[in-house]
Chains A and B, each alone.
Chain A
Amino acid sequence: MRNSRILGLGCYVPPKVVTNDDLTSLMDTTDEWIRERTGIRERHFSEDNVGAADMGATAARVALERAGVAAHEIDAVIFATLSPDIEMPASACVLQERLGIGGMLAFDVKNQCSGFLYGLAAADKLIKTGRCERVLLVGAEVHSTGIDLTTRGRDVAVIFGDAAGAVVLGPEDDTARGVLSTHLHAEGKYAEKLWLECAASRERPRLTEEMVATSNRIFPRMEGRYVFRHAVTRFPEVIQEALAANGYTVGDLSLLIPHQANLRISQLVAMGLELPEEKVFNNIDRYGNTTAASIPLALQEAIDADRLRSGDLLCLAAFGAGFTWASALIRW
């Protein structure tokens, strides 16, 4: 059975930069507090009427061009997001419209911070088994319209930024190259440790004027310490799982790209695995947590910085809301 590999990669970050100091005018926080706890210095926010698929389309055009694939040659669109442009249909459909394509399989994956890797796993299996030849996988989020930018919401609001990343995947006949394996996990018992409740289909009605006007139920809420503790356990676990599944150990790894949730988490994970700093790529300082977009965005910058070369053993790993966590091992 063949493998899949990334044929092209593209990213889009909206131009508006929001620094920690900018946030201090909206809420009671400080640059020092944010940097110390998260490593974030600034993030980007999209403009009015720019949704996840709008940004995703820009990223996708770059990825398609770099892959040498025309948009109409794509036979599946997978869109990972927890902040779709509209409530229904999926952002994958809006993306098709923006790219002027239609007819192929297209769906959204809602798996939060692990969304890109869940989408990658699905794309990989569709290609591996010969069901698809060219899959466009997009991870994009517009968080800025769904966070509570007041003192009440500051613990979560300071973390998130908007961005999009896209990859085009195609077949790789050399089974020692490309995506070697993917590993997916979840633990729904912690669903409400990091969540966005409303609109909630289980509420009747699922949206009320009270929810929208005054409550914090339409914004994400988090028990930070809880998330932190699980993240520093699950990240190393799922990285080791990917390595072991392929007969490798941490020493064989060329580069680890962790989902950019919090710099302190990435640092603790690297320390626990005894991975030297140059083998872990972080860029959360400039983008914040961009959820489904963070891995392709970091991957792009790692390539641009010449931190990843052909033949390198690359591990992508994520942990976040759900809880969900995941990894992929790639021979680049």
Chain B
Amino acid sequence: MPATILGLAHGLPPEVEVVGVRRPIAADPVGPSDLALDPGRRVLEQASITAADVDFIIFATMTPDVTFPGAACYFQDKLGCGTIGAMDIRGQCAGFLMSLLVAESFLDAGVYRRIVLAAGEVHSSGLDYSERGARVAALYGDGAAVTMLGPAATGGVAAVVCHTDGRLHDGFWIEYPASRQHPVRVTVDDLRAGRHFPKLDFDLVARFGRERLPAVVGEVLTRARIAIEQIDHLILSHVLPEVGDDAARTLGVPPSRFINATAAHGHLTAASLPVALSEARTVGRIGAGDRVCLAACGAGFAWGAAVLTL
């Protein structure tokens, strides 16, 4: 039985100018569970259920409110969901797609009927906005989206595919805090050297994305047994927006059917795809019954895609 989307909403903090670009930036002390709260309430309304009817929560994030517990626990409390399970999944840029696959498995197994899937990041508190880090810091924004999933006889999520190849993990990473460093995970020297900020090999990350995004879109379409011409909207997420544009061109999808998930707000990691999907629906660009293909590629390296009908 496929999963269907019973609710979808997003939340972006106000835009602020940082290192020459405008980005949604959360204010102190807002974490991803806070950004997800308003969209969480709205998906309950959309699905016409109360917090007490939710069976399970998955939160996809690389930037939890605190080091532990995960953001799902905070979100569960804020949304008022009693003592249901609340799980954090860390899958970088493909975190939403991985969480969708896990959620779909729980629904399909008949264990749960209503799963709230949140994806949210607060990157701004971990970026180097000085000259040293400006090129990377400019890529990111903060934001969250929440999806309500339930079982459906027809429609909904047609296919999800996810891949990871950790052999390239230090091509796009944040090294510290690092549990492997004795005697302590992070030192004042590490901070002064900026080892706790994201680093990426721009060429490698771009090359990988240009190759894998079209490939994984092809794979998920084959899995869903549909042709790319049957897709109403293609949404791509890559930390470098130009890579998403290149992949759409490679796939022959015209701008009228393409949404670049990282162009408007910067890279929101786990939240990029669902925020773009929700935003496109809010402005009327995507309507009920439209068939959407979503794909992301990034740190891990992780990449994946999904085909779904709203």
Contact = CB atoms under 8 A, between A and B. Distances in A.
A65 B82 CA distance: 42
A93 B191 contact: no
A229 interface: no
A191 B164 contact: no
A195 B76 contact: no
Nearest to B183: A145
A171 to B, nearest CB: 13
Interface string A98-110: 0010111111111
B221 interface: no
B74 A185 contact: no
B145 interface: no
A191 B66 CA distance: 10
A186 B186 contact: no
Contact of A105 (B92, B163, B182): B163
B85 A142 contact: no
Given A83-B179, A204-B124, A88 B174 contact: yes
A126 B191 contact: no
Contact of A49 (B29, B31, B82, B181): B181
Interface stretch (B105-113, B236-244, B279-287): B105-113
Contacts of A155: none
A109 B73 contact: no
B166 A102 contact: yes
Contacts of A92: 90, 164, 166
Contacts of B163: 103-105
A199 B67 contact: yes
B208 to A, nearest CB: 12
A53 B52 CA distance: 37
Nearest to A200: B66
A224 B57 CA distance: 27
A200 B180 contact: no
A225 interface: no
B166 A97 contact: yes
A322 interface: yes
Interface string B125-152: 1100000000000000000000000000
B77 A206 contact: no
A85 B178 contact: yes
B125 A203 contact: yes
Interface in A66-120: 77, 82-90, 92-97, 100, 102-112, 118
A275 B124 CA distance: 51
B91 interface: yes
B167 A86 contact: no
B164 A77 contact: yes
B67 A198 contact: yes
Interface in B174-195: 174-188, 190-192
Interface in A122-148: 122, 124-126, 128-129, 131, 141-142, 144-146
Nearest to B161: A105
A144 B182 contact: yes
B68 A324 contact: no
Contacts of B169: 86, 89, 93-94, 96-97
Contacts of B29: 202-204
Nearest to B28: A204
Nearest to A84: B179
B236 to A, nearest CB: 20
A131 B180 contact: no
What size tier do the contact residues of chain A reach? 35 or more
Given A87-B175, A188-B77, A118 B87 contact: yes
B181 A188 contact: no
A85 B180 contact: yes
Given A89-B169, A145-B179, A145-B181, A107 B98 contact: yes
Contact of B73 (A48, A141, A324): A324
B21 to A, nearest CB: 18
A182 B110 CA distance: 12
A48 B126 CA distance: 25
A50 interface: yes
Contacts of B68: 82, 110, 112, 195-196, 220, 321
A207 B87 CA distance: 25
Interface in A41-70: 46-52, 54
Contacts of B126: 199, 201, 205-207
Contacts of A111: 69-70, 72, 87-88
B158 interface: no
B86 interface: yes
Contacts of B85: 118, 121, 184-186, 324, 326
B90 A212 contact: no
Contacts of B32: 201
A81 to B, nearest CB: 8
B181 A207 contact: no
Nearest to A141: B179
Q: Which of A86, A142, A188, A220 is packed against the most chain B CB atoms within 10 Å?
A: A188
Interface of A: 1, 46-52, 54, 77, 82-90, 92-97, 100, 102-112, 118, 121-122, 124-126, 128-129, 131, 141-142, 144-146, 149, 182, 184-189, 191, 194-209, 212-213, 218, 220, 321-324, 326
Given A202-B65, A212-B184, A218-B177, 4 more contacts: A86-B174, A93-B300, A185-B84, A191-B73
Interface of B: 26, 28-32, 34, 56-57, 62-70, 72-78, 82-92, 95, 98, 101-102, 104-106, 108-111, 121-126, 162-167, 169, 172-188, 190-192, 196, 198, 299-302
11 contacts: A48-B182, A77-B164, A88-B198, A92-B166, A126-B105, A145-B179, A197-B66, A201-B125, A201-B126, A202-B28, A202-B29
Closest 3 A/B residue pairs (Cβ): A184-B85, A51-B180, A93-B166
